[in-house]
């Protein structure tokens, strides 16, 4: 009796949440899948664009940042990143604050011109990301962000309820209930597709959701950081610290001081600190997230401290790799492909679930319209 009651509760929860969030689940799934290979597509277009404008010698960090500030005189540089594309081509990125808003700009390493607005892939994927996080194309929306957060929680509950409902069938015949009969039609085919794909993508969907909540709630970030033994980023409420204004010469000095460490690396970025704090330069020759950290005093031109990635705790590595876990890059090309397909599967779950519900309701209405046969003889 208790098991039947639990099964009914799980089915109702799975159904109600699935119907309530089917549209937003599909939107989050499709936009997430589109963004899975955003870096590869953008790097391809970026490399082609830069190659066509290549000159004999690339500009230095000081020259590039100076030319950026000439184009954006009211901006204040917060991050400066360098990443190898192919051969000797590099991608230069600048994150800057201007009039209270933050923006990210790609620069031509040979001329310093801002090229972000000229690349079609950047425009497309910027829109896809905003829609993925805020459900609009115009920018950050508090309402949209909360709806996406609620959708993420709903996906977690739906997934767990779904696997618990399907578990008895897996126990009965594991291999048979992990296959799809493509000769079947209608409700049977949709049910097999819905359940089997749900089993195969479950772990990836849950990873995406639990890591995705990192960008939704400050309390969630604080909780994970605490559990991982990592000091929460930022500073206490009420404490205001002035940001340092980075000059092109200071950025160049950071690079010169760290030149031996970053020579030949795949990527590095400089974070402009609060006033009186040292500059931070993170670099990696492996993949996103596996960054080594240098803290640099630009006045003295010395490295104050080093934090190698290999010496970090498991908790520190997990927190540092939150985005790479969410996108699948943490697991290499297999991870990216798995997350892409799992994101598409979420949209498929919404469609197949809604179709099954509609089919079931249509059968019930048809049954109600059909007159019952007489059970007694007529004289």
Question: What DSSP letter does each residue of 199-221 carry, written as one string?
Answer: HHHHHHHHHHHHHHGGGT-HHHH
Per DSSP (E only), the strands in 218-377 are: 267-271, 279-284, 292-297, 302-307
**Residues 48 and 65 occupy one common structural domain:** no
Same domain, 65 and 209: no
Asked whether residue 43 is domain-assigned, the answer is yes
- Same domain, yes or no: 243 and 303: yes
Q: Do 40 and 75 belong to one domain?
A: no
276: Cβ contacts below 8 Å, ≥ 6 apart: none
Q: Is 356 helix (H, G, I), strand (E, B) or coil?
A: helix
**Given CA atoms 272, 214, 151, 337 in this order, what sign does their dihedral have?**
positive
Question: Residue 137: inside a domain, yes or no?
Answer: no
Same domain, 308 and 246: yes
Contact of 105 with 96, CB cutoff 8 Å: yes
Domain-located, residue 229: no
The answer to whether residue 158 sits within a structural domain is yes
Are residues 245 and 189 part of one domain?
A: no
For 25, the domain range is: 2-53+143-224+331-358
**Same-domain status, 208 and 151:** yes
For residues 246 and 274, membership in a common domain is answered with yes
64 vs 93: CA distance, rounded Å: 10
Asked if residue 170 and residue 62 are part of one domain, the reply reads no
Specify whether 147 is located in the same domain as 193.
Answer: yes
Structure confidence at residue 238 (pLDDT): 45
- Domain presence at residue 152: yes
Indicate the SS3 state at residue 292: strand
Q: Are 205 and 157 in contact (CB under 8 A)?
A: no
| In the chain, beta strands by DSSP E | 76-84, 90-98, 101-107, 267-271, 279-284, 292-297, 302-307
Instruction: Identify the DSSP state of 343.
Output: H
Residue 118 domain-assigned?
Answer: no
Whole-number pLDDT of residue 246: 93
Same domain membership, residue 152 and residue 37: yes
Residues 195 and 239 occupy one common structural domain:
no
What is the reported pLDDT for 373?
54
Q: Spell out the per-residue pLDDT of the chain, length 379, in tens.
A: 677 888 999 999 999 999 999 999 999 999 999 999 998 998 899 888 888 888 778 999 999 999 999 999 999 999 999 998 887 889 999 999 988 788 889 999 999 999 877 788 888 998 899 999 999 867 677 899 999 999 999 999 999 999 999 999 999 999 899 999 998 988 899 999 999 999 999 999 999 999 999 999 999 999 999 999 887 654 444 456 788 899 999 999 999 999 999 988 999 999 999 988 999 999 997 766 789 999 999 999 999 999 999 999 999 999 999 999 999 999 989 999 999 999 999 999 999 999 999 988 888 888 887 765 544 444 3
Residue 124 domain flag: no
Instruction: Say if residues 310 and 316 touch (Cβ distance below 8 Å).
Output: no
Asked whether residue 37 is domain-assigned, the answer is: yes
The count of structural domains within the chain is 2
Cross-strand pairs, 269: 81, 282
């Amino acid at each position: 009796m208790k098991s039947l009651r639990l099964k009914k509760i799980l089915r109702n929860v799975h159904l109600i949440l699935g119907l309530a969030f089917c549209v937003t689940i599909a939107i989050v799934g499709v936009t997430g899948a589109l963004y899975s290979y955003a870096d590869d597509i953008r790097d391809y277009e970026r490399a082609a664009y830069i190659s066509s404008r290549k000159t004999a010698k690339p500009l230095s960090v000081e020259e590039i940042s100076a030319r950026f500030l000439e184009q954006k005189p009211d901006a204040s540089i917060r991050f400066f990143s360098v990443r190898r594309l192919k051969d000797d081509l590099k991608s230069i990125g600048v994150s800057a604050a201007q009039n209270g808003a933050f923006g990210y700009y790609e620069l031509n390493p040979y001329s310093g011109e801002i090229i972000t607005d000229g690349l079609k892939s950047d425009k497309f994927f910027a829109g896809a990301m905003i829609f993925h996080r805020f459900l609009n194309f115009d920018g950050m929306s508090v309402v949209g962000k909360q709806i996406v957060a609620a959708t993420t929680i709903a996906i977690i509950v739906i997934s767990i309820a779904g696997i618990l409902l399907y578990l008895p069938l897996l126990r009965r015949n594991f291999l048979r209930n992990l296959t799809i009969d493509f000769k079947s039609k209608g409700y049977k085919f949709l049910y097999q597709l819905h359940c089997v794909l749900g089993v195969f993508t479950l772990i990836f969907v849950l990873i995406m959701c639990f890591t995705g909540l990192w960008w939704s709630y400050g309390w969630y970030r604080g909780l994970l950081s605490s559990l991982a033994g990592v000091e929460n980023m930022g500073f206490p409420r009420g404490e205001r610290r002035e940001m340092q204004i980075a000059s092109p010469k200071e950025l160049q000095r950071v690079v010169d001081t760290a030149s031996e460490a970053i020579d030949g690396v795949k990527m590095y970025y400089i974070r402009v600190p609060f006033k009186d704090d040292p500059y931070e330069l993170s670099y990696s020759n492996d993949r996103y997230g596996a960054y080594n950290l240098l803290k640099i005093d630009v006045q003295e031109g010395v490295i104050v401290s080093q934090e190698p990635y290999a010496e970090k705790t498991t908790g520190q590595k997990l927190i540092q790799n939150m985005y790479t876990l969410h996108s699948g890059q943490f697991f290499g090309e297999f991870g990216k492909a798995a997350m892409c397909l799992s994101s598409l599967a979420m949209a498929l779950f919404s469609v197949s679930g809604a179709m099954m519900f509609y089919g079931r309701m249509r059968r019930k209405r048809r049954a109600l319209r059909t007159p019952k046969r007489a059970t007694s003889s007529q004289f």
